[in-house]
Amino acid sequence: MAAIDKFQGEKKTYEMSSNHLYAITPDDVNELSYIPRAIYIGSSGDLAVVPEIGDPVVIFTNLFQGTWVTVRVKKVLATGTTASNLIAMV
């Protein structure tokens, strides 16, 4: 199932308040349920993602616990992701 973008057609910015948060379970096959505007890093590590547009894998390294990564992605990959307790802000 393709990820649903609840803000399609609107200005895409992480500064907007969130009306939906959900825990992310990294997965190499399935797309996220909803495309987030940002991802909260609960425990430090690396974050491997596939951007909303395109298929190249991007790995953010050495992310600190308690930070937000303001990215719009369709997948958070298990392979390459060592950060945990991830929360999507939609």
Tell me the pLDDT tens digit for each residue of 29-74.
999 999 998 999 999 999 999 999 988 999 999 999 999 999 999 9
CA distance 53 to 23: 22
Q: At 1, is the secondary structure helix, strand, or coil?
A: coil
Domain positions in the chain are 21-89
Query: Cα 60 vs. chain centroid, distance in angstroms?
Result: 11
CA distance 48 to 81: 5
CA distance 44 to 51: 21
Question: pTM of the entire structure?
Answer: 0.82
Confidence of residue 86 (pLDDT cuts 50, 70, 90): very high
